[in-house]
Amino acid sequence: MTISYTRTDMLPAMAPPVSQRGLVKWLRENMLSTRLNVALTVLATAFIAFVAWNIFPWFWNSVWNAGSLAECRAIVAASAGEGASGACWAFLKPWWGAFIFGHQYPVSDRWRPVLAFGLLFVALAPILFAGQRRNLTIIFSVVAAYLLLTLYLASAPGLAFALAMLLVAGLVAVSQVQPERLLWFTLLYPALCFWLLWGGSIWSPIVAMAGFGVLYAIFRFASPVIGFAPAAGAGVVAAVLWWLFADAPLAGTLQEMIPVDLLRVPSDKFGGFLLAIVIGVTGITFSLPIGILLALGRQSDMPIVKMLCVIFIETIRGVPLITLLFVAAFVLGFFLPPEADFDLLLRVLILVTFFAAAYLAEVLRGSLAALPRGQYEAADALGLDYWRAQRLIILPQALKISIPAIVSSFIGLFKDTTLVVIVALYEPLKGITHLVRQDVNWKGIYWEPYIFVGVIFFLFCFGMSRYSKYLELKLKTDHR
């Protein structure tokens, strides 16, 4: 026997045998691999079938048109036989508006939240789908169709309707020519949204936004002269002075000269999903930057900055959100001067934002720690300063690692908006549902309103979850 061997030709790759591909392989491996697994598969299938069998008729016998619960039950009994169960969704017709806008939001002005909601997606699209013209076009077309339909249904005044359509058309045109310019709309959107939802004079949000303009202008012109940090400080001081002293009189004067205003709707008239979305979107938008700063601060070499961040994070995380909301609503009032008219919803927004930011900061701290030290060193060795290294090298990677966790906490935040019921705001899950169940016509209804609210929440949360999945795939560059 000889031990010498030389291969003369290399073997080509071949397709695997049938048992190793497709459905057969999947079934064998996942459902029927051992006797125990066969038994479990049979049991699980039987259980699913049993549950479906019992729940299905309830959905199948659903009634959508009726004036009261009693009427609903009569219809079910008539169509499916005595004793049959059936869902009654007919309460949605009279209560739809309350679920969406809250029962106190003026009916004549419901087109405003509708418009703000449509424009929200226009404002978000350039961020969520940066540089993807096709996705932008799809979103814009859907929003245009949505606005056409809903503004009509909400009987928006002709002028508002026309302006909204003009705005969307203009933005579509911009998206085709210079998509990056769309970010300007995103920047202006908060002011526009505020004006649409709360109403009042158009000049208040415009003059308030001008404060940011003042900040930027001072920073821009002062920073070459007195340096980066002092210029930023001076800008902030000037902006605060602007908001404190120039804001109200200027807005008032402008309003007298050119009156443009909408019916003012105070915060306590907000309710339903309008309330949930306002709190959720505001919390999500502002908690991300604050959370990033807190996470960086906690990693900072500067002891005071670090200590402040740690105290903030640990305090907020250590207290239940309900307690914070309670403090915001009732306890804060004792400490503020009686004439201070500090809007309840605004207090709630601030606390929810802080709460989410503290959690985000901890999530991000984890991914910052997970980045190899070499990344920091390479950034340093190339001469990037701290902020550039964070912005260009560290944060993109840290945020990418933590996308699932960040989106989880956003989903949690959105669902936590239902907790504002504790401070007597009419959120959909308990607030509005409670009203429905107190209604004489619908007394005794139990599952349906909760299922309805649950389904809507699910749609939003599932949407966020899918988007995070999409983003993860899009940003996947490690090719492992």
Partner 1 sequence: MAEAAKMQVSDEVAIQISGMNKWYGQFHVLRDINMTVMKGERIVICGPSGSGKSTLIRCVNRLEEHQQGQIIVDGTELTNDLKNIDKVRSEVGMVFQHFNLFPHLTILENLTLAPIWVRKVPKKEAEETAMYFLKKVKIPEQALKYPGQLSGGQQQRVAIARSLCMRPRIMLFDEPTSALDPEMIKEVLDTMIALAEEGMTMICVTHEMGFAQAVANRVIFMDQGQIVEQNEPKEFFNNPQSERTKLFLSQILGH
Under the criterion CB under 8 A, does residue 475 sit at the interface with partner 1?
yes
- Least distance from C-beta 34 to partner 1, angstroms? 37
- Least distance from C-beta 477 to partner 1, angstroms? 4
Element (H, E) at 261: strand 261-262
Out of 29, 261, 314, 377, name the contact with partner 1 by CB under 8 A: 377
Residue nearer to partner 1 on the CB measure, 134 or 480: 480
- SS3 percent helix, strand, coil of the chain, rounded to 5, is 80, 0, 20
Q: Radius of gyration over alpha carbons of the chain, in Å?
A: 28
Residue nearer to partner 1 on the CB measure, 70 or 371: 371
CA distances from 158 to 102, 146, 154 (A): 24, 17, 12
- Contact of 292 with 363, CB cutoff 8 Å: no
Residue nearer to partner 1 on the CB measure, 343 or 385: 385
| # binding residues, partner 1 (CB under 8 A) | 22
The C-alpha atoms of residue 452 and residue 454 are separated, in whole angstroms, by 5
- Contact of 313 with 366, CB cutoff 8 Å: no
Residue nearer to partner 1 on the CB measure, 332 or 403: 403
The C-alpha atoms of residue 341 and residue 320 are separated, in whole angstroms, by 26
Binding mask 421-460 for partner 1 (x = CB under 8 A): ----------------------------------------
Mode of pairing for the β-strands spanning 200-201 and 261-262: antiparallel
Residues 278-297 within binding reach of partner 1 (CB under 8 A): none
Q: In this chain, which stretch among 22-30, 384-392, 422-430, 438-446 interacts with partner 1, using CB under 8 A?
A: 384-392
Out of 67, 266, 320, 396, name the contact with partner 1 by CB under 8 A: 396
SS3 201: strand
CA distances from 479 to 339, 419, 466, 475, 476 (A): 60, 42, 21, 11, 7
CA distances from 178 to 119, 128, 130, 275 (A): 19, 16, 12, 34
* Largest Cα–Cα separation, the chain: 107
Out of 44, 382, 424, 459, name the contact with partner 1 by CB under 8 A: 382
Q: In this chain, which stretch among 106-114, 245-253, 377-385, 462-470 interacts with partner 1, using CB under 8 A?
A: 377-385
Under the criterion CB under 8 A, does residue 35 sit at the interface with partner 1?
no
Residue nearer to partner 1 on the CB measure, 256 or 380: 380
The C-alpha atoms of residue 152 and residue 143 are separated, in whole angstroms, by 14
CA distances from 167 to 140, 182, 230, 367 (A): 11, 12, 39, 40
- Contact of 113 with 98, CB cutoff 8 Å: no
- Least distance from C-beta 52 to partner 1, angstroms? 45
Residue nearer to partner 1 on the CB measure, 310 or 403: 403
At position 354, the amino acid (one-letter code) is F
Residues 225, 230, 232, 236: is their CA dihedral positive or negative?
Answer: negative
Under the criterion CB under 8 A, does residue 478 sit at the interface with partner 1?
yes
* Residue 262 DSSP code: E
Q: Which tokens hold the place of 442?
A: 């619908």
- Least distance from C-beta 474 to partner 1, angstroms? 12
Q: Which tokens hold the place of 32?
A: 């029927």
Q: In this chain, which stretch among 95-103, 271-279, 335-343, 393-401 interacts with partner 1, using CB under 8 A?
A: 393-401
Under the criterion CB under 8 A, does residue 381 sit at the interface with partner 1?
yes
Under the criterion CB under 8 A, does residue 374 sit at the interface with partner 1?
yes
- Least distance from C-beta 303 to partner 1, angstroms? 16
CA distances from 234 to 211, 212, 388 (A): 13, 12, 22
**Of the candidates 183, 163, 162, 165, the residue with the CA atom closest to the CA atom of residue 174:** 183
Out of 73, 103, 306, 400, name the contact with partner 1 by CB under 8 A: 400
- Least distance from C-beta 295 to partner 1, angstroms? 18
- Least distance from C-beta 389 to partner 1, angstroms? 9
- Least distance from C-beta 480 to partner 1, angstroms? 7
- Least distance from C-beta 396 to partner 1, angstroms? 5
Q: Which tokens hold the place of 214?
A: 């003042």
Under the criterion CB under 8 A, does residue 83 sit at the interface with partner 1?
no
Q: In this chain, which stretch among 3-11, 31-39, 374-382, 438-446 interacts with partner 1, using CB under 8 A?
A: 374-382
Under the criterion CB under 8 A, does residue 7 sit at the interface with partner 1?
no
Under the criterion CB under 8 A, does residue 104 sit at the interface with partner 1?
no
Residue nearer to partner 1 on the CB measure, 325 or 399: 399
Q: In this chain, which stretch among 272-280, 287-295, 385-393, 435-443 interacts with partner 1, using CB under 8 A?
A: 385-393
Give the interface with partner 1 as residue ranges (CB under 8 A). Answer: 372, 374-375, 377-378, 380-385, 388, 392-393, 396-397, 400, 475, 477-480
